[in-house]
């Protein structure tokens, strides 16, 4: 898990996790640990980088988030399109 500064000029950092290289069997445990730490950090958002690839890790991550009740959306790019390889999670 890493913490990155928000792009809005704020000094707050957004917790993020990069799931590239993870197997579908590893996703639930990784997200469970990550989102617990992200929630405890006081951040209102977190970022999950699933990548696009075959979409298996992304599907597992979305399944976890829906089951756990976390609202999320795909990251918006500067051109207004969705980046389907990155999920923004709303913690509060």
The total number of residues written for the chain in this structure = 92
pLDDT at residue 53, rounded to an integer: 86
- Residue 90, phi-psi category: left (phi > 0), alpha (psi -120 to 50), beta (remainder): beta
The ranges assigned to domains in the chain are 2-90
CA 92 to CA 84: how far, in whole Å?
A: 22
> Is residue 56 classed as helix, strand or coil in its secondary structure?
helix
* CATH architecture for the domain at 2-90: 2-Layer Sandwich (3.30)
Query: Which of 2, 80, 11 lies closest to 48, judged by CA?
Result: 2
- pLDDT given for residue 10 in this prediction: 52
Q: Over the chain (92 residues), what is each successive 10-residue block's mean pLDDT?
A: 47 88 95 95 94 92 96 93 93 84
Can you give the pLDDT at residue 5? 42
Which residue, among 29, 37, 33, has the nearest Cα to 3 in the 3D structure?
Answer: 37
């Amino acid at each position: 898990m890493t913490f990155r500064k928000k792009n809005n000029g704020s000094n707050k950092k957004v917790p993020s996790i990069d799931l590239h290289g993870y197997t579908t069997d590893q996703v639930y445990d990784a997200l469970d640990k990550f989102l617990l730490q992200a929630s405890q950090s006081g951040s209102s958002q977190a970022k999950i980088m699933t990548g696009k690839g075959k979409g298996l890790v992304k599907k597992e991550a979305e399944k976890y988030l829906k089951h756990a009740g976390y609202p999320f959306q795909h990251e918006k790019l500067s051109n207004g399109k969705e980046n389907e390889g990155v999920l923004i999670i709303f913690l509060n």
